[in-house]
Structure 1
Amino acid sequence: MATEPIRLEVIIGSVREGRFAPVVAEWFLRRARERPEFATTVTDLADVALPADLSRTAESDRFRDRIGAAEAFVVVTPEYNHGYPAALKHAIDSAKEQWRAKPVGFVSYGGLSGGLRATEQLRQVVAEVHMVSVRQTVSFHQARKRFGPDGESDDGAAIDGSARLLGQLAWWAEALRSARSERAYPG
C-alpha cells in the first residue's frame, strides 16, 4: 500500500554570523532528498523572527503551522560552550502540541566532541515536548576539516550514520502517523 511521503522538516539551529551550519545542513539535505519516503523542507532559524516573550504574532503562527504540518524533524545543531544554541531552545519553546508524537533526529557538529553534548541535552528537551528521539545520530568532529570546497564529506561514519538516521526516522514517522490517525495523542 503506497503512502504519502513523510513531511520532513530540517531545522537549522544556528543563527550566528559566520556560522558553519549551512554547509552541514546542505550536506544532510542532499542525502534526505535522495530518499523517496520523504518530502523535505527546511526551516533556517536565522530567517524566523520569533518573539522573545513567546507571544503570538503572525510570524510565530506561521512557525507553529509549519511545525504542525511536519511529520518528522531533523535538527542540525552546533555545540556552543558544551550546549546547543539559544535560538534552537527558543524555537522549541515557541511551539507546543505541534511537536507531539513526532520523531526527531540530530545532526551535530563542533570541535572534538562533534556536538554530541548538544545532542544529548536536546534529547532531554524534546522528550519534554513529547517527541520521539531516534537513536542514530550524525556528528562531525572538527567539522570544518570534514568538508571539501564542494560541501561534500568523505567521513564514512557520517555517511553511514545519515542513512541509518533516515531509516529510523522513516520507521518512527510511519508508526506515529498511523497511531495519530487511529486516535489522538493523549498529551
Structure 2
Amino acid sequence: MLKVAVIIGSTRPGRNGEAVGRWVHELAAKRADAEFELVDLKDYALPHLDEAMPAATGQYDRPHTRKWAEKIASFDAYVFVTPEYNRSTSGVLKNAIDFLYAEWNNKAAGFVSYGVGGGGRAVEHLRLVMGELQVADVRAQVELSLVTDFENFSVLHPAAQQEDALNTMLDQVIAWGEALRSLRRPRAA
C-alpha cells in the first residue's frame, strides 16, 4: 500500500502547523487507499544545513541526516503542511528539504498551507523546489485562512469546503504516487 507522509513544516513555539497537520492526518487516516504517517520536523531537530557534500551525492556524514534520509526514503508521497512566512514557506521546512535529494525523487506531493491569505505563495515556492527534486506536485491544494478557518488566528475550525478540498488533493497525491511507483523500483544492473 502507498505510504504518505504528512509533514508538519513549522517548529515555531505556538505554531498552528501542529493542529493543521493533525487535522490532515485524522481525515487522511480514514481512507483505505493509502497509509498516512504524521512527520513533525520538531522531532528531527535538524540544524542549519551542515553536510559537507551536496545532497545529490547521497554522502551523509551526520547521524541526524541519515535518520532524516531513512524516514523520507520510506514514503511514496508527501503532503507538506506549510505556513506562509513573508510570502514564502518556513525556513525550517526548506532546510529539511535541502538536506536530501534522491530520497525525494519520483514521488508525489500535495500541499496544505495556512496564513492570513491562505498561504498560497508558500506553496508557489515549494512547487519550484519540488520540480528540482523530481517530485510530481499535484494541482489541488488546501489553503487555510487564519481569518476564516481559525478562531482568534490560533484555533483551527476549517470551513466545511476544506475537507472536500483536502480529499481532492489526497486523491491526486495517491494517483500520482501510484503512477510513479515503477520509477521508484530499483533497476536491474
Fold similarity call, TM over 0.5? yes
TM superposition outliers: structure 1 runs of 4+ over 6 Å? none
Q: Residue 101 of structure 1 contacts residue 132 of structure 1 at CA under 8 Å; is this kept in 2? A: yes
Distance 2:142 2:5 in 1: 16
Distance 1:87 1:68 in 2: 19
Q: Following superposition of structure 1 onto structure 2, how do residues 137-152 of structure 1 map, counting pairs within 5 Å?
A: 137-142=141-146, 145-147=148-150
Q: Following superposition of structure 1 onto structure 2, how do residues 61-140 of structure 1 map, counting pairs within 5 Å?
A: 61-111=66-116, 113-140=117-144
Tell me what 2:163 maps to.
159
Determine if the alignment matches structure 1 residue 18 to structure 2 residue 14.
yes
Q: Residue 51 of structure 1 contacts residue 60 of structure 1 at CA under 8 Å; is this kept in 2? A: no
Q: Which moved more, 1:75-84 or 1:37-46?
A: 37-46
Deviations 1:65-123 (A, max 9, x none): 11111000000000011111000110110111000000000000000x20000001110
AA aligned to 2:39 is: T
If the length of structure 2 is used for normalisation, what is the TM-score? 0.86
Q: Residue 67 of structure 1 contacts residue 99 of structure 1 at CA under 8 Å; is this kept in 2? A: yes
Tell me what 1:170 maps to.
174
Deviations 1:134-160 (A, max 9, x none): 1000010125x5247xx7635133111
AA aligned to 1:77 is: T
Q: 1:89 to 1:43 in 2, by over 3 A?
A: same
Identity of aligned residues (%): 37
Point out the structure with the larger helix share. 1
Tell me what 1:34 maps to.
30
AA aligned to 1:140 is: L
Q: Which moved more, 1:129-138 or 1:31-40?
A: 31-40
Consecutive unaligned residues of structure 2, counting only runs of 5 or more, are: 52-60
